[in-house]
Amino acid sequence: MPDALAEDECGDVRVTPEPVTPDWVKHAVFYQIFPDRFARSGRLPKPTNLEPWDGDPTPRGYKGGDLLGVVERLDYLQDLGVTALSFNPIFQSASNHRYHTHDYERVDPLLGGDAAFDTLLAECHRRGIRVVLDGVFNHASRGFFQFNDVLENGAASPWLDWWLNVGGHPINAYDHTRPPGYTAWADLHALPKFNTDNPQVREFLMRIAEHWIRKGIDGWRLDVAAEITTPGFWQEFRQRVKAINPEACIVAEIWHDSRPWLQGDQFDAVMNYLFTEAAIAFAAGHRVVRETVVGRSYAPWPGIDAPGYAAKIDHLLGLYPWPIQLAQLNLLDSHDTSRFLTIAGGDAASVRLGNLLMFTFPGAPCVYYGDEIGLTGALPDHWARKPFPWDDPDRWDTELLTFFKELIALRRAHPALRVGAYHRLVAEGGVYAFARTLDDTSLVVAVNAADDEATVEVPLSRPPTAPVTLFAMGGSLGYAGTATGLALTLPGRSGIVLDVSPVPGTGLTGALPPGGDRP
Protein backbone atom coordinates (compact mmCIF):
# COMPACT_ATOMS: atom_id res chain seq x y z
CA MET A 1 0.00 0.00 0.00
CA PRO A 2 1.47 3.43 -0.85
CA ASP A 3 2.58 5.89 1.76
CA ALA A 4 -0.04 8.34 2.96
CA LEU A 5 -0.03 11.95 1.80
CA ALA A 6 -0.36 14.86 4.19
CA GLU A 7 0.28 18.59 4.25
CA ASP A 8 2.89 20.21 6.45
CA GLU A 9 2.47 23.59 8.15
CA CYS A 10 3.43 25.39 4.94
CA GLY A 11 0.79 23.56 2.91
CA ASP A 12 3.35 21.47 1.03
CA VAL A 13 2.52 17.82 0.40
CA ARG A 14 4.76 15.39 2.25
CA VAL A 15 4.90 11.61 2.33
CA THR A 16 4.10 9.93 5.64
CA PRO A 17 5.44 6.37 5.85
CA GLU A 18 2.88 3.71 6.70
CA PRO A 19 3.30 2.14 10.14
CA VAL A 20 5.07 -1.21 10.19
CA THR A 21 3.30 -3.98 12.12
CA PRO A 22 4.37 -7.61 12.64
CA ASP A 23 3.33 -9.72 9.69
CA TRP A 24 2.64 -12.84 11.77
CA VAL A 25 -0.06 -11.08 13.79
CA LYS A 26 -2.12 -10.46 10.65
CA HIS A 27 -2.33 -14.22 10.12
CA ALA A 28 -2.70 -15.27 13.76
CA VAL A 29 -5.62 -16.78 15.66
CA PHE A 30 -5.23 -15.81 19.34
CA TYR A 31 -6.53 -17.62 22.40
CA GLN A 32 -6.61 -15.76 25.72
CA ILE A 33 -5.71 -17.79 28.80
CA PHE A 34 -6.42 -16.81 32.39
CA PRO A 35 -3.77 -19.06 33.96
CA ASP A 36 -5.39 -19.83 37.32
CA ARG A 37 -8.55 -21.11 35.60
CA PHE A 38 -7.45 -22.83 32.40
CA ALA A 39 -5.77 -26.11 33.35
CA ARG A 40 -4.04 -27.67 36.37
CA SER A 41 -1.25 -30.20 35.97
CA GLY A 42 -0.86 -33.12 38.33
CA ARG A 43 2.91 -32.88 37.91
CA LEU A 44 3.25 -29.79 40.10
CA PRO A 45 2.94 -29.87 43.90
CA LYS A 46 0.29 -27.48 45.16
CA PRO A 47 -0.57 -25.79 48.45
CA THR A 48 -3.48 -27.42 50.24
CA ASN A 49 -5.81 -24.44 50.53
CA LEU A 50 -7.08 -24.35 46.94
CA GLU A 51 -10.69 -24.08 45.85
CA PRO A 52 -12.17 -27.19 44.22
CA TRP A 53 -11.67 -26.94 40.48
CA ASP A 54 -15.33 -27.57 39.73
CA GLY A 55 -16.64 -25.29 42.49
CA ASP A 56 -17.90 -21.74 42.09
CA PRO A 57 -15.08 -19.20 41.73
CA THR A 58 -14.63 -16.52 44.38
CA PRO A 59 -12.96 -13.10 44.10
CA ARG A 60 -9.88 -14.08 46.10
CA GLY A 61 -9.70 -17.86 45.88
CA TYR A 62 -7.19 -19.81 43.81
CA LYS A 63 -8.02 -22.80 41.62
CA GLY A 64 -4.38 -23.68 41.05
CA GLY A 65 -4.15 -23.61 37.27
CA ASP A 66 -0.56 -23.59 36.03
CA LEU A 67 1.63 -23.38 32.95
CA LEU A 68 2.34 -27.10 32.71
CA GLY A 69 -1.42 -27.53 32.54
CA VAL A 70 -1.34 -25.34 29.44
CA VAL A 71 1.46 -27.48 27.97
CA GLU A 72 -0.67 -30.58 28.49
CA ARG A 73 -3.54 -28.97 26.55
CA LEU A 74 -1.55 -27.76 23.55
CA ASP A 75 -2.84 -30.66 21.43
CA TYR A 76 -6.37 -29.41 22.11
CA LEU A 77 -5.43 -25.84 21.19
CA GLN A 78 -3.71 -26.90 17.98
CA ASP A 79 -6.71 -29.01 17.02
CA LEU A 80 -8.87 -25.93 17.58
CA GLY A 81 -6.62 -24.02 15.18
CA VAL A 82 -4.98 -21.59 17.59
CA THR A 83 -1.63 -20.10 16.53
CA ALA A 84 -0.94 -17.60 19.36
CA LEU A 85 -1.56 -17.54 23.10
CA SER A 86 -2.23 -14.33 25.02
CA PHE A 87 -1.75 -14.80 28.76
CA ASN A 88 -3.09 -12.80 31.63
CA PRO A 89 -0.22 -11.97 34.02
CA ILE A 90 2.08 -14.82 35.04
CA PHE A 91 4.53 -13.00 37.32
CA GLN A 92 4.74 -13.53 41.07
CA SER A 93 1.73 -11.94 42.73
CA ALA A 94 -0.61 -12.23 45.70
CA SER A 95 -3.81 -12.40 43.65
CA ASN A 96 -5.39 -15.06 41.49
CA HIS A 97 -5.46 -12.70 38.48
CA ARG A 98 -1.87 -11.55 39.14
CA TYR A 99 -2.38 -7.90 38.27
CA HIS A 100 -0.82 -7.13 41.69
CA THR A 101 2.80 -7.77 40.69
CA HIS A 102 5.34 -8.63 43.39
CA ASP A 103 8.29 -9.59 41.18
CA TYR A 104 8.46 -8.87 37.44
CA GLU A 105 11.43 -11.17 36.91
CA ARG A 106 9.93 -14.34 38.38
CA VAL A 107 7.09 -16.50 37.16
CA ASP A 108 4.64 -17.15 40.01
CA PRO A 109 5.55 -20.37 41.86
CA LEU A 110 1.90 -21.46 41.87
CA LEU A 111 2.10 -21.46 38.05
CA GLY A 112 5.21 -23.64 38.17
CA GLY A 113 7.85 -20.92 38.29
CA ASP A 114 10.42 -20.10 35.65
CA ALA A 115 11.04 -23.76 34.79
CA ALA A 116 7.41 -24.32 33.82
CA PHE A 117 7.45 -21.17 31.70
CA ASP A 118 10.61 -22.28 29.91
CA THR A 119 8.95 -25.60 29.11
CA LEU A 120 5.80 -23.84 27.89
CA LEU A 121 7.67 -21.39 25.67
CA ALA A 122 9.84 -24.07 24.12
CA GLU A 123 6.91 -26.38 23.42
CA CYS A 124 4.77 -23.58 21.98
CA HIS A 125 7.55 -22.46 19.66
CA ARG A 126 8.22 -26.06 18.61
CA ARG A 127 4.61 -26.19 17.47
CA GLY A 128 4.68 -22.78 15.80
CA ILE A 129 2.51 -21.15 18.49
CA ARG A 130 3.40 -17.60 19.55
CA VAL A 131 3.33 -16.44 23.18
CA VAL A 132 2.31 -12.92 24.29
CA LEU A 133 2.55 -11.90 27.95
CA ASP A 134 0.61 -9.31 29.94
CA GLY A 135 2.72 -6.36 31.05
CA VAL A 136 1.35 -4.49 34.06
CA PHE A 137 3.64 -1.46 34.04
CA ASN A 138 1.31 1.28 35.27
CA HIS A 139 1.16 0.00 38.84
CA ALA A 140 2.63 -2.66 41.10
CA SER A 141 1.42 -3.97 44.47
CA ARG A 142 1.87 -3.57 48.20
CA GLY A 143 4.18 -6.59 48.05
CA PHE A 144 6.46 -5.13 45.40
CA PHE A 145 9.81 -4.62 47.11
CA GLN A 146 10.24 -0.89 46.52
CA PHE A 147 6.73 -0.17 47.77
CA ASN A 148 7.01 -2.57 50.68
CA ASP A 149 10.10 -0.67 51.76
CA VAL A 150 8.00 2.51 51.92
CA LEU A 151 5.46 0.67 54.10
CA GLU A 152 8.25 -0.43 56.43
CA ASN A 153 10.38 2.72 56.55
CA GLY A 154 8.05 5.57 55.69
CA ALA A 155 9.74 8.88 54.92
CA ALA A 156 13.16 7.23 55.35
CA SER A 157 12.64 4.86 52.41
CA PRO A 158 15.07 5.42 49.52
CA TRP A 159 12.28 4.33 47.14
CA LEU A 160 9.83 7.09 48.11
CA ASP A 161 9.93 8.84 44.75
CA TRP A 162 9.14 5.64 42.84
CA TRP A 163 5.50 6.39 43.76
CA LEU A 164 3.13 9.29 43.27
CA ASN A 165 1.76 11.58 45.97
CA VAL A 166 2.89 9.60 49.00
CA GLY A 167 1.28 11.33 51.97
CA GLY A 168 1.91 11.29 55.70
CA HIS A 169 3.48 8.31 57.42
CA PRO A 170 2.58 5.65 58.07
CA ILE A 171 0.74 5.71 54.75
CA ASN A 172 -2.70 4.16 54.56
CA ALA A 173 -2.34 0.98 52.53
CA TYR A 174 -5.01 -1.25 54.08
CA ASP A 175 -7.86 0.73 55.60
CA HIS A 176 -10.41 0.78 52.79
CA THR A 177 -12.67 3.18 54.68
CA ARG A 178 -10.12 5.91 53.94
CA PRO A 179 -8.39 6.85 50.65
CA PRO A 180 -4.96 5.34 50.05
CA GLY A 181 -2.06 7.47 51.19
CA TYR A 182 -0.65 7.62 47.64
CA THR A 183 -1.88 7.57 44.06
CA ALA A 184 -3.30 4.15 43.27
CA TRP A 185 -4.89 2.80 40.11
CA ALA A 186 -8.68 3.31 40.38
CA ASP A 187 -8.03 4.33 44.02
CA LEU A 188 -7.47 0.66 44.90
CA HIS A 189 -5.13 0.48 47.87
CA ALA A 190 -3.51 -2.69 46.56
CA LEU A 191 -2.29 -1.04 43.33
CA PRO A 192 0.18 1.82 43.95
CA LYS A 193 0.93 3.67 40.72
CA PHE A 194 4.50 3.96 39.49
CA ASN A 195 6.04 7.40 39.09
CA THR A 196 7.14 6.84 35.50
CA ASP A 197 8.54 10.39 35.38
CA ASN A 198 11.31 9.05 37.62
CA PRO A 199 14.17 7.95 35.30
CA GLN A 200 14.99 5.01 37.59
CA VAL A 201 11.44 3.69 37.41
CA ARG A 202 11.35 4.17 33.68
CA GLU A 203 14.62 2.30 33.20
CA PHE A 204 13.48 -0.50 35.52
CA LEU A 205 10.33 -1.08 33.45
CA MET A 206 12.18 -0.88 30.14
CA ARG A 207 14.63 -3.53 31.31
CA ILE A 208 11.79 -5.81 32.39
CA ALA A 209 10.28 -5.50 28.91
CA GLU A 210 13.64 -6.29 27.32
CA HIS A 211 14.33 -9.20 29.67
CA TRP A 212 11.29 -11.22 28.63
CA ILE A 213 11.70 -10.39 24.94
CA ARG A 214 15.22 -11.77 25.19
CA LYS A 215 13.79 -14.85 26.90
CA GLY A 216 11.87 -15.41 23.69
CA ILE A 217 8.32 -14.15 24.16
CA ASP A 218 6.64 -12.88 20.99
CA GLY A 219 5.13 -9.72 22.38
CA TRP A 220 3.46 -7.73 25.13
CA ARG A 221 -0.16 -6.98 25.90
CA LEU A 222 0.01 -3.76 27.93
CA ASP A 223 -2.46 -3.30 30.77
CA VAL A 224 -4.21 0.12 31.08
CA ALA A 225 -1.57 1.57 28.77
CA ALA A 226 -3.26 4.97 28.45
CA GLU A 227 -2.70 5.56 32.19
CA ILE A 228 1.04 6.04 31.57
CA THR A 229 1.31 9.61 30.29
CA THR A 230 5.04 10.29 30.74
CA PRO A 231 6.16 11.93 27.46
CA GLY A 232 8.15 9.53 25.30
CA PHE A 233 7.62 6.49 27.54
CA TRP A 234 5.84 4.28 25.02
CA GLN A 235 7.98 5.52 22.14
CA GLU A 236 11.09 4.37 24.03
CA PHE A 237 9.36 1.14 25.00
CA ARG A 238 8.72 0.36 21.33
CA GLN A 239 12.26 1.24 20.27
CA ARG A 240 13.85 -0.98 22.89
CA VAL A 241 11.55 -3.95 22.36
CA LYS A 242 11.81 -3.79 18.57
CA ALA A 243 15.59 -3.45 18.75
CA ILE A 244 15.67 -6.96 20.20
CA ASN A 245 12.88 -8.47 18.10
CA PRO A 246 11.47 -6.34 15.28
CA GLU A 247 8.58 -8.81 14.90
CA ALA A 248 7.53 -8.56 18.55
CA CYS A 249 3.88 -7.60 18.93
CA ILE A 250 2.96 -4.63 21.13
CA VAL A 251 -0.78 -4.46 21.79
CA ALA A 252 -2.34 -2.13 24.35
CA GLU A 253 -5.48 -2.32 26.43
CA ILE A 254 -7.29 0.84 25.34
CA TRP A 255 -11.07 0.66 24.96
CA HIS A 256 -11.73 3.79 22.92
CA ASP A 257 -10.46 5.74 19.92
CA SER A 258 -6.72 5.08 20.05
CA ARG A 259 -5.35 7.29 17.30
CA PRO A 260 -2.83 9.07 19.58
CA TRP A 261 -1.12 5.73 20.21
CA LEU A 262 -1.49 4.10 16.79
CA GLN A 263 0.66 6.27 14.55
CA GLY A 264 3.44 3.70 14.19
CA ASP A 265 5.70 5.06 16.92
CA GLN A 266 4.12 3.36 19.98
CA PHE A 267 1.79 0.35 19.71
CA ASP A 268 1.18 -2.05 16.86
CA ALA A 269 -2.45 -2.44 17.88
CA VAL A 270 -4.99 -2.21 20.67
CA MET A 271 -7.60 -4.58 22.00
CA ASN A 272 -10.30 -3.65 19.53
CA TYR A 273 -13.21 -2.99 21.89
CA LEU A 274 -14.74 -0.63 19.32
CA PHE A 275 -15.28 -3.69 17.13
CA THR A 276 -16.45 -5.68 20.16
CA GLU A 277 -19.15 -3.15 20.93
CA ALA A 278 -20.42 -3.04 17.34
CA ALA A 279 -20.35 -6.80 16.74
CA ILE A 280 -22.18 -7.67 19.97
CA ALA A 281 -24.82 -4.98 19.46
CA PHE A 282 -25.50 -6.17 15.90
CA ALA A 283 -25.22 -9.95 16.33
CA ALA A 284 -27.24 -10.10 19.57
CA GLY A 285 -29.49 -7.10 18.95
CA HIS A 286 -32.41 -6.91 21.36
CA ARG A 287 -31.07 -9.96 23.20
CA VAL A 288 -28.24 -7.98 24.83
CA VAL A 289 -28.79 -8.13 28.59
CA ARG A 290 -28.10 -4.61 29.77
CA GLU A 291 -26.98 -5.63 33.27
CA THR A 292 -24.15 -7.71 31.82
CA VAL A 293 -22.44 -4.80 30.07
CA VAL A 294 -22.82 -1.83 32.41
CA GLY A 295 -19.80 -0.50 34.26
CA ARG A 296 -17.32 -1.10 31.46
CA SER A 297 -15.91 1.29 28.86
CA TYR A 298 -18.00 0.01 25.97
CA ALA A 299 -21.70 0.16 25.13
CA PRO A 300 -23.12 -2.91 23.31
CA TRP A 301 -26.60 -2.11 24.65
CA PRO A 302 -29.04 -1.40 23.10
CA GLY A 303 -28.73 -3.49 19.96
CA ILE A 304 -28.29 -2.01 16.49
CA ASP A 305 -29.44 -2.92 12.97
CA ALA A 306 -27.28 -3.38 9.87
CA PRO A 307 -27.07 0.33 8.97
CA GLY A 308 -26.05 1.06 12.57
CA TYR A 309 -23.38 -1.63 12.38
CA ALA A 310 -22.18 -0.30 9.02
CA ALA A 311 -21.81 3.20 10.47
CA LYS A 312 -19.72 1.93 13.37
CA ILE A 313 -17.54 -0.25 11.16
CA ASP A 314 -17.00 2.49 8.56
CA HIS A 315 -15.95 4.82 11.38
CA LEU A 316 -13.62 2.21 12.86
CA LEU A 317 -11.98 1.39 9.53
CA GLY A 318 -11.39 5.10 8.97
CA LEU A 319 -9.55 5.65 12.25
CA TYR A 320 -6.22 3.92 11.69
CA PRO A 321 -3.76 3.16 8.88
CA TRP A 322 -4.36 -0.16 7.12
CA PRO A 323 -1.29 -1.96 8.59
CA ILE A 324 -2.68 -1.13 12.05
CA GLN A 325 -6.14 -2.42 11.09
CA LEU A 326 -4.63 -5.75 10.02
CA ALA A 327 -2.83 -6.13 13.37
CA GLN A 328 -5.70 -5.18 15.70
CA LEU A 329 -6.58 -7.69 18.40
CA ASN A 330 -10.27 -8.36 17.76
CA LEU A 331 -12.36 -9.88 20.55
CA LEU A 332 -15.92 -10.43 21.68
CA ASP A 333 -15.20 -10.83 25.38
CA SER A 334 -12.32 -11.08 27.83
CA HIS A 335 -11.45 -11.43 31.51
CA ASP A 336 -12.70 -7.84 31.93
CA THR A 337 -16.20 -8.41 30.52
CA SER A 338 -19.13 -10.73 30.81
CA ARG A 339 -18.91 -13.64 28.41
CA PHE A 340 -20.64 -13.05 25.09
CA LEU A 341 -22.99 -16.02 25.50
CA THR A 342 -24.25 -14.53 28.76
CA ILE A 343 -24.45 -11.02 27.30
CA ALA A 344 -26.70 -12.48 24.59
CA GLY A 345 -29.01 -14.07 27.12
CA GLY A 346 -27.74 -17.57 26.34
CA ASP A 347 -28.48 -17.29 22.61
CA ALA A 348 -25.89 -19.44 20.81
CA ALA A 349 -26.87 -18.02 17.40
CA SER A 350 -25.62 -14.61 18.56
CA VAL A 351 -22.27 -16.16 19.43
CA ARG A 352 -22.07 -17.77 16.01
CA LEU A 353 -23.02 -14.60 14.15
CA GLY A 354 -20.62 -12.45 16.17
CA ASN A 355 -17.75 -14.83 15.60
CA LEU A 356 -18.51 -15.07 11.88
CA LEU A 357 -18.17 -11.29 11.75
CA MET A 358 -14.95 -11.37 13.80
CA PHE A 359 -13.19 -14.15 11.92
CA THR A 360 -13.83 -12.47 8.56
CA PHE A 361 -12.86 -8.97 9.75
CA PRO A 362 -9.42 -7.32 9.33
CA GLY A 363 -7.25 -7.95 12.38
CA ALA A 364 -6.35 -10.96 14.48
CA PRO A 365 -9.33 -12.73 16.13
CA CYS A 366 -8.96 -13.69 19.79
CA VAL A 367 -11.01 -16.38 21.53
CA TYR A 368 -11.39 -16.09 25.31
CA TYR A 369 -10.73 -19.51 26.82
CA GLY A 370 -13.85 -21.66 27.03
CA ASP A 371 -15.99 -19.56 24.70
CA GLU A 372 -15.63 -22.31 22.14
CA ILE A 373 -17.44 -24.81 24.40
CA GLY A 374 -20.09 -22.39 25.64
CA LEU A 375 -18.74 -21.24 29.02
CA THR A 376 -20.97 -18.63 30.60
CA GLY A 377 -20.39 -15.91 33.16
CA ALA A 378 -21.39 -12.34 33.92
CA LEU A 379 -19.90 -9.51 35.90
CA PRO A 380 -18.55 -9.23 38.59
CA ASP A 381 -15.27 -10.43 37.17
CA HIS A 382 -14.79 -13.76 38.95
CA TRP A 383 -17.94 -15.21 37.37
CA ALA A 384 -16.47 -14.58 33.91
CA ARG A 385 -13.30 -16.42 34.98
CA LYS A 386 -14.67 -19.88 35.64
CA PRO A 387 -12.38 -22.92 35.41
CA PHE A 388 -12.35 -24.81 32.13
CA PRO A 389 -14.37 -28.01 32.77
CA TRP A 390 -11.90 -30.50 31.33
CA ASP A 391 -13.30 -33.41 33.35
CA ASP A 392 -16.96 -32.59 32.74
CA PRO A 393 -17.58 -32.99 29.00
CA ASP A 394 -21.34 -32.90 29.58
CA ARG A 395 -20.91 -29.15 30.05
CA TRP A 396 -19.33 -28.77 26.62
CA ASP A 397 -21.38 -27.47 23.71
CA THR A 398 -19.77 -29.77 21.14
CA GLU A 399 -21.73 -28.28 18.25
CA LEU A 400 -20.35 -24.86 19.13
CA LEU A 401 -16.85 -26.33 19.38
CA THR A 402 -17.20 -27.79 15.88
CA PHE A 403 -18.41 -24.40 14.65
CA PHE A 404 -15.30 -22.68 16.04
CA LYS A 405 -13.00 -25.26 14.47
CA GLU A 406 -14.62 -24.83 11.07
CA LEU A 407 -14.60 -21.04 11.30
CA ILE A 408 -10.95 -20.92 12.34
CA ALA A 409 -10.06 -23.33 9.52
CA LEU A 410 -11.92 -21.07 7.07
CA ARG A 411 -9.87 -18.04 8.08
CA ARG A 412 -6.60 -19.93 7.98
CA ALA A 413 -7.39 -21.35 4.54
CA HIS A 414 -8.10 -18.01 2.85
CA PRO A 415 -5.51 -15.22 2.89
CA ALA A 416 -8.16 -12.79 1.64
CA LEU A 417 -9.90 -13.06 5.02
CA ARG A 418 -6.65 -12.13 6.75
CA VAL A 419 -5.04 -9.43 4.62
CA GLY A 420 -7.50 -8.75 1.80
CA ALA A 421 -9.15 -5.39 1.17
CA TYR A 422 -12.53 -4.79 2.82
CA HIS A 423 -15.55 -3.65 0.79
CA ARG A 424 -18.94 -2.92 2.36
CA LEU A 425 -21.66 -4.07 -0.05
CA VAL A 426 -25.05 -4.13 1.73
CA ALA A 427 -26.48 -2.70 4.97
CA GLU A 428 -30.26 -3.08 4.92
CA GLY A 429 -32.52 -3.93 7.85
CA GLY A 430 -30.84 -6.86 9.54
CA VAL A 431 -28.54 -7.78 6.62
CA TYR A 432 -24.92 -6.71 6.39
CA ALA A 433 -22.71 -7.97 3.56
CA PHE A 434 -19.14 -7.20 2.64
CA ALA A 435 -16.33 -8.57 0.52
CA ARG A 436 -12.69 -9.38 1.20
CA THR A 437 -10.56 -9.26 -1.93
CA LEU A 438 -6.94 -10.19 -2.55
CA ASP A 439 -5.37 -10.47 -6.00
CA ASP A 440 -7.84 -12.58 -8.02
CA THR A 441 -9.82 -13.77 -5.00
CA SER A 442 -13.17 -12.24 -4.05
CA LEU A 443 -15.07 -13.56 -1.03
CA VAL A 444 -18.51 -12.29 -0.03
CA VAL A 445 -19.65 -12.52 3.61
CA ALA A 446 -23.31 -11.89 4.41
CA VAL A 447 -25.05 -11.95 7.78
CA ASN A 448 -28.75 -11.64 8.56
CA ALA A 449 -28.99 -10.77 12.26
CA ALA A 450 -32.76 -10.22 12.10
CA ASP A 451 -35.31 -12.85 13.08
CA ASP A 452 -37.01 -12.96 9.67
CA GLU A 453 -35.83 -14.13 6.27
CA ALA A 454 -34.52 -11.45 3.92
CA THR A 455 -33.52 -11.23 0.25
CA VAL A 456 -30.92 -8.65 -0.76
CA GLU A 457 -29.06 -7.69 -3.91
CA VAL A 458 -25.27 -7.85 -3.59
CA PRO A 459 -23.65 -5.57 -6.21
CA LEU A 460 -21.01 -7.26 -8.36
CA SER A 461 -19.59 -6.22 -11.69
CA ARG A 462 -21.18 -9.27 -13.26
CA PRO A 463 -23.01 -12.35 -12.00
CA PRO A 464 -20.50 -14.96 -10.81
CA THR A 465 -20.57 -18.00 -13.06
CA ALA A 466 -20.26 -20.51 -10.24
CA PRO A 467 -20.21 -19.09 -6.69
CA VAL A 468 -18.91 -21.57 -4.14
CA THR A 469 -20.27 -21.78 -0.60
CA LEU A 470 -17.28 -21.85 1.75
CA PHE A 471 -19.20 -21.56 5.01
CA ALA A 472 -22.85 -21.39 6.02
CA MET A 473 -24.84 -21.28 9.23
CA GLY A 474 -28.48 -20.95 10.18
CA GLY A 475 -30.76 -22.76 7.75
CA SER A 476 -31.27 -23.05 4.01
CA LEU A 477 -29.54 -20.18 2.25
CA GLY A 478 -30.05 -19.37 -1.41
CA TYR A 479 -28.39 -17.27 -4.09
CA ALA A 480 -28.87 -16.55 -7.76
CA GLY A 481 -27.15 -14.37 -10.31
CA THR A 482 -28.82 -11.17 -11.46
CA ALA A 483 -27.99 -8.55 -14.05
CA THR A 484 -26.11 -6.50 -11.48
CA GLY A 485 -24.72 -9.06 -9.08
CA LEU A 486 -26.10 -11.67 -6.75
CA ALA A 487 -29.46 -12.07 -5.04
CA LEU A 488 -29.05 -13.64 -1.60
CA THR A 489 -31.89 -15.16 0.39
CA LEU A 490 -30.90 -15.40 4.04
CA PRO A 491 -33.05 -17.00 6.74
CA GLY A 492 -33.26 -15.16 10.03
CA ARG A 493 -30.14 -15.45 12.21
CA SER A 494 -27.98 -16.85 9.42
CA GLY A 495 -24.72 -16.17 7.64
CA ILE A 496 -22.79 -17.31 4.59
CA VAL A 497 -19.34 -16.96 3.02
CA LEU A 498 -19.20 -17.28 -0.78
CA ASP A 499 -16.27 -17.43 -3.15
CA VAL A 500 -17.29 -15.26 -6.09
CA SER A 501 -13.81 -14.92 -7.54
CA PRO A 502 -14.12 -13.65 -11.12
CA VAL A 503 -12.47 -14.88 -14.23
CA PRO A 504 -9.46 -12.68 -15.10
CA GLY A 505 -10.46 -9.16 -15.90
CA THR A 506 -13.62 -9.05 -13.81
CA GLY A 507 -14.27 -8.31 -10.17
CA LEU A 508 -16.30 -6.25 -7.79
CA THR A 509 -18.04 -3.18 -9.07
CA GLY A 510 -16.47 0.17 -8.32
CA ALA A 511 -19.87 1.56 -7.35
CA LEU A 512 -19.59 0.65 -3.69
CA PRO A 513 -21.31 2.59 -0.88
CA PRO A 514 -19.40 5.72 0.21
CA GLY A 515 -16.68 4.88 2.69
CA GLY A 516 -17.20 1.17 2.21
CA ASP A 517 -13.90 0.35 0.49
CA ARG A 518 -10.79 -0.31 2.59
CA PRO A 519 -7.97 0.22 1.93
Catalytic residues: 223, 253
Instruction: Give whole-number Cα distances, 458 to 145, 306, 324, 462, in Å.
Output: 62, 14, 28, 11
The helix/strand/coil state of 399 is helix
CB contact set of 199 (below 8 Å; sequence gap of 6+): none
Q: What is the 3-state secondary structure (H, E, C) of 128-161?
A: CCEEEEEECCCECCCCCHHHHHHHHHHHHCCCHH
Instruction: Give the span between the Cα atoms of 222 and 211, in whole angstroms.
Output: 15
Instruction: Give the span between the Cα atoms of 258 and 390, in whole angstroms.
Output: 38
**Which string of DSSP letters, residue by residue, matches 465-481?**
SS-EEEEEESS--EEEE
Nearest to 317 by CA among 304, 329, 326: 326
Upstream peptide bond of 170 is cis (omega within 30 degrees of 0)? yes
Task: Give the total residue count for the chain.
Answer: 519
Contact 273, 343 (CB under 8 A): no
CB contact set of 388 (below 8 Å; sequence gap of 6+): 37, 38, 39, 369, 370, 373, 375
CA distance between the termini of the chain = 8
Instruction: Give the span between the Cα atoms of 277 and 256, in whole angstroms.
Output: 10
The helix/strand/coil state of 365 is strand
Instruction: Give the span between the Cα atoms of 199 and 203, in whole angstroms.
Output: 6
